[in-house]
Amino acid sequence: MLSIDFRRAAAAHRLALPLLAILCAVCAVSARATDSTATPAKWGALLWHDEFDQPVGSGPDESRWTYALGDSGWGNAELQCYTDSRENSLVAADPEAGDGRVLVIRALRDEVGRTTSARITTRGKFAVKFGRIEARLKVPKGQGIWPAFWMLGENEAEHGWPHCGEIDVMELLGHEPERVYGSLHGPGYSGIDSLTGSVRHAAMGGQSPEGDSGESIVADFSSAYHVFAVEWRPGRIEWFCDGLRYHVVDESELPEGAHWVFDETPHFLLLNLAVGGKWPGYPDDTTEFPQEYRIDYVRVYAAQD
């Protein structure tokens, strides 16, 4: 796991150093709850999904998900210990969800400062190569809070990171909850050199992509659910927020000497809520606990033949 997450330590410098690709867009959003699993246009059948419709109080479906456990810092000097406790992950009622239930990943801090959270993965249970991968998420905010929805090549144990490939569908830094990031990591474009785009949330019109208009009211992604997705085809991956495409990486655009690994192996899914680290920084007196990361659904659609 350290080899996987080392890129996150390097990624701590993203905000200070140039990236090979940074794209910004305005995302004026009003994501509606839905329980429909109808196939989106341009995509094939629903390959895999989790609507998190188990009984309230239960944990993630063990036939679909596995816990990643521990307090090693995960290569980023993170603070949390990942557990399989129902205090850190459970199905809960939520009227904003399509079926009235969601998975909640909860970061807690006790009276002596010990921080716990959860990280779940489909490693060994499901992986996909090509298609549309999407999730409807309500993210937390706060200094040092770091929710993510991402993917890793299932050959990681054999080839290591970044040669296995990594697709970050959504990451958010809690101190800037008005922006989410989508990134691609592979050999020759990882860590601070990842191919990264971002999208900014605006509650009203009139705001530039840089957010420099003082006339608009700026909301953030923690205020409602939003659908984050990647559309993955041979030689090309695109990132979306509520249907708005905000980032594209094409194999032809890779830097010299880099290798496109995303046509080679399926990737498995990960959901986690980290606390602290070199990229998001650390909680301070303004950070409130508990923090909750809510997942309405995760759906994977096949690529068209």
Tens-of-pLDDT digits for all 305 residues of the chain?
A: 333 343 343 343 343 333 434 444 444 444 444 456 666 778 999 999 999 999 999 999 999 999 999 887 666 788 999 999 999 999 999 999 989 999 999 999 999 989 999 999 999 999 999 999 999 999 999 999 999 999 999 999 899 999 999 999 999 999 999 999 999 999 999 988 999 999 988 743 433 344 333 333 457 999 999 999 999 999 999 999 999 999 999 999 999 999 999 999 999 999 999 999 988 999 999 999 999 999 999 999 999 86
pLDDT recorded at residue 74:
63
Which of 154, 166, 231, 238 does the annotation list as catalytic? 166
Residue 238 counted as domain residue = no
pLDDT recorded at residue 76:
75
3-class DSSP state of 91: strand
For the record, the structure tokens of 7 come out as 């890129």
pLDDT recorded at residue 37:
65
pLDDT recorded at residue 38:
66
Question: If 0-12 CB within 10 Å is exposed, 13-18 middle and 19+ buried, where does residue 249 land?
Answer: buried
CATH number at residue 93: 2.60.120.200
Residue 37 counted as domain residue = no
Residue 240 counted as domain residue = no
Residue 233 counted as domain residue = no
Query: Residue 199 sits in which domain range?
Result: 2-32+42-225+259-265+272-303
Residue 254 counted as domain residue = no
For the record, the structure tokens of 262 come out as 């995303």
Question: If 0-12 CB within 10 Å is exposed, 13-18 middle and 19+ buried, where does residue 33 land?
Answer: middle
Which of 78, 134, 171, 238 does the annotation list as catalytic? 171
pLDDT recorded at residue 196:
95
Residue 290 counted as domain residue = yes
- How far is 137 from 180, CA to CA, in rounded Å? 12
pLDDT recorded at residue 7:
39
Residue with tokens 């809520």: 273
- How far is 80 from 54, CA to CA, in rounded Å? 26
pLDDT recorded at residue 29:
44
Chain centroid to CA 27: how far? 17
Q: Cα–Cα distances in Å, from 238 out to 62, 200, 253, 256, 270?
A: 30, 17, 13, 21, 18
Told to judge if 87 belongs to the known catalytic residues of this protein, a careful annotator would answer no
pLDDT recorded at residue 47:
97
pLDDT recorded at residue 213:
34
> How many structural domains is the chain composed of?
1
Q: Could you tell me the end-to-end alpha-carbon distance of the chain, in angstroms, rounded to an integer? A: 34
Residue 108 counted as domain residue = yes
Q: Residue 219: what are its φ and ψ, rounded to 5°?
A: -95, -165
- How far is 186 from 151, CA to CA, in rounded Å? 12
3-class DSSP state of 11: helix
Residue 241 counted as domain residue = no
Told to judge if 171 belongs to the known catalytic residues of this protein, a careful annotator would answer yes
